[in-house]
Structure 1
Amino acid sequence: MYHLNVTTEEKWNFPGLCELKNLQELDLSWNEYEGIFPSCVANMTSLRLVELSHNTFIRSIASSPLTKLTSLEYISISSNNFQVPISFKAFFNHSNFNFLFLENNEIINDELGNLVPNFQLEVFSMLNSRGCPSLPSFLYYQSNLRILHLSNNSIGWNFPTWLLENNTRLKRLYLMDNAFTGPLKLPTSINPNMENFDLEGPISEEICNLDNLSLLDLSENKLCGSIPYCFNPSRIHHVYLSNNQLEGELTYAFYNSSSLVSLDLRYNKFIGNIPQSIGNLSHLSIILLSNNHFEGTIPPQFCEMDQLSMIDLSFNFLSRQIPHCFGNLTLEVTEEKSGWVEEVFTSSLQTLLSYMDEVELEMARHVFSLETGFFRLNDVPITAKFITKRSSYTYKGSILNYMSGIDLSSNKLHGKIPDGLGNLSGRIPTDLIKLNVLAIFRVAHNNLAGMIPEKAQFGTFDEGRYQGNPYLCGRPLPNDCTSTGSTPVLPTADDENEECSLMDMEFFYISFIISYLSVVFCIATVLFINSHWRRACFHLIEGSFLDSSSPDANFLQSIE
């Protein structure tokens, strides 16, 4: 037998499994196997691929029968309860090893000694490990890595510069959520996605060689110095360098990055003027430069950038007058700014395809669906932070399609505010009703028109949120949409439900009045027919009238 894939239903009930000595691929993933991995697998001396992910196997992998199978080229033990010695020295004689996946297991720190591994990995993944692992020492002897994933391990000490220097063919490096320190030096072939591991020191000029870079996120680190003047990748779309200690001027940085869509440099120490070359960024939609030391005037080149929708220049030292053309900014929203960065891992795919061709394993295609996500599109939701009413809010994904704004607060600006700056016009988009988390909404004193949405959280906003818009109508404003001649929003299914509820209330009032009149008519009819009840009723009314008219009663009423 060439390949064996045991499904969840079949479990381990396969007679004669241990007799399949010529089996080349064993796939037991996504089952409920538990306990010790069967020792008879050591007899399958032709195995090249073993997939054991998403089970609950236990014991040390160093004592498993896999250590005897030197023919193995691919091992995945992800998401089990294996104990994995960090040295991995029990597999040093497996010279055919290319792919190794150890995610979500318990890593045990042990000593490597003077041993040197005989294998050269192309893909190694050890994310989300348990046991506070250190950096695997055997990586020092690896020189053919293409993909390395060590995220979510809290690995500390200095950043392993030697790892990048030794693996010149490295294409994908993932080190998120670790505790590396020291300077960051990048070779020419890396694609950084390295947020959240406390980098410090200057940005190396080697980053200028990353011509195919599409997203750079080094925010919330301790980077210092200036952005290299040569950093002008032509294909980059998103740059996040906020919350660092970067300084200097932006004279030449991003000069030729015409594809740039979002630029976030908040909370740094940049100085000097905002360069006039900002006008070359024709696709820029979000620019966030707040909390720096920029000075001088606001470049009028902003007005030439017709894709802009979010501008934050607050908390700087900008002076003089706001450019008159700012009153003509349309702040058009675009889908590019809220889209998802999609990177096709062509190099990784070529690596796997060549591997598949070499070993001729048909089921090796399952590698494409591994939970690591190495070999799928890398989807990254675009985020933006914007300050409203002195509160900072983070927006991510499709909500950015509906957002636009300008923040020039806390500067040294003076003079006349351009006419039309900040005046909203048109209708309130009905799609905002779908934003269930919307808590703050204020559009007072603009030129909005049409009917105010009344559904969801919009029914809780008071009149002050909308005042100063003479053409807005509907609740909570006193303006009736019928009297103002405004065209109502096209009804939806929810609108029809509201109309039905209004019709129900009208029916209630009519039925109440009819019922009341019917009761009065019935009482009058009974009194007319029954003379005894009629006389008793008249005596009761007469007695009540006399009691209220007596001097004592009047005296008591005056006291009360």
Structure 2
Amino acid sequence: MDIKSRFSGVSSWFTSNNGDDSFSTYYNFTLSFQLFIEVMLEPFQELQVGFVTKNRNEYYKGGILGYMTGLDLSSNELTGDIPSEIGYLRNIRAINLSHNSLSGSIPESFSNLSNIESLDLSHNKLSGRIPPQLTQLNSLAILNVSINNLSGPVPDKGQFGTFDERNYGGNPGLCGSQIKRSCGSSEPTTPPATPSHEDESAIDMVSFYWSLFAAYVTTIMGFVLILWLNSDWRKRWFCFIDACIISSYCWILRNAFHMYDDI
């Protein structure tokens, strides 16, 4: 499901209230929503609600539920871009959008989340750079953007100076001192040319000839070594050679006489 469809109401509210009444509308909306939550939670004072924040799964119940300010949409098979309107949730303290299929870039509007303490965007398909504006998030204690397609330099100011390569793993395009990968400008590397079928055939033939030559030399050397070590075989071999020479000589003479008689 596209994540923007889940935030269509929030999106239209934020984009349609840009006049002078924006603050009062926001205040009335927040107050009404808070009263609604208090009324709805009253019958469920003993209900425990689990929420993952700062890499911990905590359980809350009772009146504390009214103070929960987090958004956990992890593992929901969400797709599409992250709505920039989430950046207007200034009082939210934890956002977990991990283990989805979200794409696009990290919204720069996230720099408005002044109270955010935990931000988990891992295991998605996010691309582009990490917005440098996020260094303004002074309350950010936990960040996880691992297993994405992010690229470019990793911010190193503010709270980002406290994070290490574990927070950014699985992003081959990222660079910076935190992940021990240089951001030096370099020419794009040209992929090595793939050898053609003809080149592969030529290489195979050269290898075949060298293998044949090595086998021939090895056989000759082995045969000579056997004759040198075994005197009986050596005598038999020379007798065989002599017999072959005599037989060849006789064959030549016989054929020469036949040719002379025919003339």
Greater fraction of residues in helix: 2
- What TM-score does the superposition give when structure 2 sets the normalisation length? 0.41
Q: Decide which structure has the larger Cα Rg and report it.
A: 2
